[in-house]
Amino acid sequence: MKRISSLVAVLLAVTLLASACGTSAPSSEPATSSSPAKVLPIKVATLAQIDAWPLVNAVQDGEADRYGLQITDKNMMIFDSGMEAVEGIPAKAFTLADIGQLPALMAASRYKAKIVGVAAEESAANAILARGDSPVFNEGNSAEAVRGATVLVTSVSSAHQLLAAWLQDLGLAENDITIRTVEQQTAISAFEAGDGDFLVLWSPALYRALDKGFKVVKTAADLGLPSYMFYVVPENISADESEAVARFLAMTDGQVASYQAGGDAIHTSVKDFFKSYAGMTISDNDVTEEINRHKLYRLDEQLALFEDGSLEKTLASLADAQVADNKLDAEEVNLAKEKHFYLDKSFLEAAQGYVK
């Protein structure tokens, strides 16, 4: 797999792919299982976190081959944050991206990207941290312990969304604090060196911070804030790409079934995944924490979320907050609302016909 750190690298990859493979006519609907059997390539953008495990494990155990998907290291792109991936949407740098709900909202609002599945819910794995001697612990998490503080956070991320919700819970706003926007690993190093008063992270970086002795102040789960990881595709993808996405969703369904069943083999597999894919060695306790803090969804569970309105409600609330903070254009958001945030369950429905 490869880690992408700039849009230049993304655009180069797309240019090479286009020259090698040519282009296909766009399609708005995924193909069905009645299509002729063929091997389809799929390029997937992920973050280095546990909801990428079904993809990596499926490639390693041969399930990708069984589903007729060509997924090589070059086709698995690792980004440091969801917004880095979103920047590649106009150039169609990938077929499918696994990103957080705030970047997914940005992708839908700005680029009409379709939200086609739910990879995970990770509210318990998004946390605000402080040093152990922080007055926030002595003063019961009061607003005065936070007012005027400097907070290190990754911009336009689930962590930033958590920060906004925490401030609102305290009766504060972002102009009551100083926000420094930095990527997670840089933020941890800076915080360890004494920079900032609070640090906002998601896992697995969260465990690096906990290992250094920093303490959790609040998680998104504590605030009742849903934190979904969404599967997103560009607005117009080809018929073959649509079929590949449906096969991908079917392929990961079996992996998630194993994940939900748990056991020593899954524990070991997840630990190996973090070492090989995320470049992190995490303890057995952290693996257990990671599994407990993340819910991964099977096809029927994803469809239920699409159909009961949960996802649209979450996105609408998030969108309204972004507009209020002047981070999203109201006209863009209103159009996205009219289109139900481009939530498209047809890929999940097609995937059910591919499950083996």
Which residues are paired to 314 by β-bridges? none
Segment 232-251 mean pLDDT: 97
Residue 9 has pLDDT above 80, yes or no: no
Mean pLDDT of the chain: 89
**Per-residue model confidence as pLDDT tens digits over 130-161:** 999 999 998 666 799 999 999 999 988 889 98
304-313, pLDDT tens digit by residue?
999 999 999 9
Average pLDDT over residues 234-247: 97
What residues have CB less than 8 Å from 63, skipping those under 6 apart? 57, 251, 254, 255
What pLDDT score does 180 carry? 95
The total number of residues written for the chain in this structure: 356
- At 328 the pLDDT is 87
Provide φ and ψ at 56, rounded to 5°: -65, -40
The 10 Å CB-count burial string (b at 16+, else e) for 156-171 is: bbbbbbbbbbbbeebe
Closest C-alpha among 309, 241, 199 to residue 43: 241
- The pLDDT, as a whole number, for residue 322 is 87
Structure tokens at 21: 């493979």
- pTM exceeds 0.75, yes or no: yes
User: Which token pair is 339?
Assistant: 């289109």
Share of the chain above pLDDT 90, in %: 78
Check residues 33 and 356 and name the one with the higher pLDDT: 356
Q: β-strands 295-296, 26-27: how paired?
A: unpaired
Res 303: pLDDT: 98
Q: How far is Cα 16 from Cα 129, in angstroms, rounded to an integer?
A: 42
Specify the pLDDT at position 20.
40
Q: What is the pLDDT of residues 23-80, one digit of tens each?
A: 333 455 676 554 447 999 999 999 999 999 999 999 999 999 999 999 999 999 999 8
Least confident of 51-55, 111-115, 200-204: 200-204
Can you list the positions of beta strands (E) in the chain?
2-4, 26-27, 40-41, 44-47, 69-70, 76-79, 96-100, 114-121, 126-130, 150-153, 178-181, 198-202, 215-219, 228-233, 237-238, 295-296
CA distance 179 to 160: 10
| Residue 28, pLDDT score | 53
**Is pLDDT above 60 for 5?**
no
For residue 247, how far is the Cα from the chain centroid? 20
In this prediction, residue 10 has a pLDDT band, given cuts at 50, 70 and 90, of very low
* pLDDT tens digit sequence for 253-298: 999 999 999 999 999 999 999 999 988 899 999 999 999 999 999 9
Angle, alpha carbons 314-238-313 (nearest 5°)? 5
Give me the phi and psi of 288, to 5 degrees please.
Answer: -60, -45
Q: How confident is the model at residue 326 (pLDDT cuts 50, 70, 90)?
A: confident
pLDDT at position 108 over 70: yes
Write down the pLDDT at residue 155: 84
Residue type at 137 in one-letter notation: F
The span from the CA of 111 to the CA of 246, in Å, is 21
Cβ atoms of 106 and 328 closer than 8 Å? yes
Say how far apart CA 322 and CA 310 lie, in whole Å.
19
In the chain, the percentage of residues whose pLDDT exceeds 70 is 89
